[in-house]
């Protein structure tokens, strides 16, 4: 029995909840060997339709996503520090 066949036989006997460990080990071995073993994830038709229905931008950058969200999220005009101070006041009745 070859090493590949032996490995497949052992993997077939492992419970499903332990497979994540095998995947991590295989990916690490691939990285050490200079081989990309990360699978290509192609969205199925249902996922592609959901993306199209939501009109999510196809860009991969954060700027594309933020541009899409502009106008969806309210702009209070407050800085992070002002927002945090307001929350502290509301929750704890203290000011900084």
Reading the chain (96 residues) residue by residue, the pLDDT tens digits are 899 999 999 999 999 999 999 988 988 898 888 888 777 778 888 888 777 766 655 656 666 777 666 665 566 777 777 877 888 888 888 766
Does pTM surpass 0.85? no
Closest CA to 7 of 22, 24, 18, 28: 22
Site of tokens 């492992």:
14
**Helix/strand/coil percent split, the chain, to 5:** 60, 0, 40
Task: Return the pLDDT at 86.
Answer: 84
CB atoms within 10 A of CB 68: 14
């Amino acid at each position: 029995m070859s090493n590949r066949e032996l490995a497949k036989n052992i993997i077939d006997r492992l419970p499903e909840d332990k497979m994540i460990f095998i995947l991590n080990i295989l990916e690490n071995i691939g990285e050490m060997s200079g081989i990309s073993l990360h699978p290509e994830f192609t969205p199925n038709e249902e996922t592609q339709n959901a993306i199209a229905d939501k009109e999510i931008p196809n860009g991969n950058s954060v700027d594309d996503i933020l541009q899409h969200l502009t106008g969806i999220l309210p702009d209070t005009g407050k800085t992070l520090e002002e927002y945090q101070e307001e929350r502290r006041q509301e929750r704890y009745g203290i000011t900084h």
